[in-house]
Each structure stands twice: as structure tokens, then as C-alpha cells.
Amino acid sequence: MNPMPSSADLTGEQFAEISRLIYRQCGIHLKAGKEALVRARLAKRLRALSLGSIDAYMDLVGSDAGRGEVGLLVDAMTTNKTNFFRERAHFDFLAQTVLAELPARHLRFWSAACSSGEEPYTLAMVLREALADIDGRDFLILATDISQRMLEVARRGVYSAERVREVPVELRNRYFERTGRGSGEMQIKSSIRDLVRLGWLNLMQSWAMKGPFHVIFCRNVMIYFDRPTQQKLVNRFWDILAPGGFLFVGHSEGLSAIKHEFRYVKPAVYRKR
């Protein structure tokens, strides 16, 4: 068995090379100080491929044979932390205020970095609760991410009892069922899954869909991008939002350093005038 590389095995040059590659591929800006994180995530890829050194790995990634590995490297470098009802105030505001401002029949939502699905499924639960006639509407939540690993979790829709505990008990009882496996793991029901369309999308590349969207959630991903990348992305969100549409960002990601024409609504919520 190959020895696992230690942090000392990741040279400054290798770190810089990986940072450039990741930035080019997905906009994630791996700042100085992230060496230990990068090394730990690289170690997983090395183990999966039974490679003994980062140099050997970099040779593979740079070769024709390693083209598929680049996607797996990007996936490994993403931070996927999420949970049901994360930043709950957004969902309350959506149900209590935003919905009344949106068109009645045709509604398009986009969870633009959905990770393992908790965000779009929370949206779907909240919207099903708020709109009694949701099945009679032309309604869809598009949920995309660059991580195939996370999309796979979202597709299964199976979560540990601990994760599901974040969901208010009434909604938990209505929209989850026990799988019968594991210690209380639960699967989200089709009445919620059917409102969500999952797909792979790299925010840095061209987008296949035309929109327009009425609501975009892009939360807790722009923190990983540098200012120019954030600027471009916010401009693209503006273009793909319907007039009067809403952009929700993470609470630590206000748009104060970005040039934009959105109207500030409340912390981390913006509206296309």
C-alpha cells in the first residue's frame, strides 16, 4: 500500500498549480492558508487511485488519460456544507412576502448551488405548504451543482435522522418516510421530489437554460469566489431573472462590494427592479 502523503508533501508550487487549475475550472479561489485543506482533499483522490505522490497525481491530471480526473478533483475541492432550513428567515420571508409578489400560474425557482439537496427540498416543502394549488400551477425548482457526489445524494433523497431533525416536526411527518434501513434514516417523499429537477451545472460555464427565473437562491457559494468572479455571476443572475424577480444570497455574502442594479430588500435579499 502506498504511504499517504503528509502536508509537507504538498509543495508551494503544487499548491499554486492546483489553485490555478481549480480557479480556471470552477472559479473557486483557494487562498493561501488553505494548504492543509487542499492536501487532505487531495489525499482522498490519491487513495482512490492508489497513487503514492502528489507529483504522480499532477502528471495524471495533466495527461489525456487524466481528463476525467479533473472533474473529480474539482468535486473533491468543493465545500458542500448545507442543511435543511439553513438561514431560516429566508424561507419565512419567501412564504410570507415574496410569493404574493410573484406571478400566479407560471413560477420558476433556481437553487444555483444545491449541494446534497437540502436547500431545494426545503424550498419545495415551504412552497407546497404555502400554495395549496401548487400541483395545478406550472411550477418548477431547478436545482444544480458542480458536485456529482452531492447530486447523487440529492437524487437519493435519503438523509440521516440527525439531518432530518432540522425540519419542523409537522413537515417531517408529512414529507419524509422511514427507509427501514439504518438508524432512523428517512427519505423525502415524491410529493416534494417531484417539484425539484436536479442537474449538473458549472456556474462558470454557459448555462443551458434560458430562464427567466422568478427566484434564485445562490447561497454560501460566492464566498469561495473572488470579486471579479462574483461580479460576473451577479450580472448573469440579473440577466436571467424576470423583472421583479428575487435573488437570495448567503447572509455572509451581501452584494455591497459588487456593482449592481438590484434593489436591496433586506439582508441577503435583492430584487430586480
Residue 172 CA, distance from chain mean position = 22
Q: Is 94 exposed, middle or buried (0-12, 13-18, 19+ CB in 10 A)?
A: buried
Q: How many Å apart are CA 141 and CA 121, to the nearest integer?
A: 9
Shortest distance (Å) from residue 149 CB to ligand SAM: 9
Judged by CB under 6 A, which of 14, 18, 54, 115 binds ligand SAM?
115
Site string for ligand SAM, 173-202 (x = CB under 6 A): ----------------------------xx
Instruction: Report if residue 82 touches ligand SAM, rule: CB under 6 A.
Output: yes
Instruction: Report if residue 147 touches ligand SAM, rule: CB under 6 A.
Output: yes
145 is catalytic: yes
Q: What is the DSSP string of 84-117?
A: TTTTHHHHHHIIIIIGGGS-SSEEEEEETT-TTT
Candidate segments 58-66, 102-110, 216-224, 256-264, binder of ligand SAM by CB under 6 A = 216-224
Residue 184 CA, distance from chain mean position = 26
92 is catalytic: no
- Say which residue the cell 488519460 belongs to: 65
Neighbours of 115 (CB within 10 A): 27
Q: How many Å apart are CA 262 and CA 244, to the nearest integer?
A: 10
Candidate segments 7-15, 56-64, 75-83, 171-179, binder of ligand SAM by CB under 6 A = 75-83
Instruction: Report if residue 150 touches ligand SAM, rule: CB under 6 A.
Output: yes
- Residues contributing to the site for ligand SAM (CB under 6 A): 26-28, 78-82, 86, 113, 115, 119, 145-147, 150, 201-204, 219-221, 224, 250
Q: Which residues are catalytic?
A: 41, 145
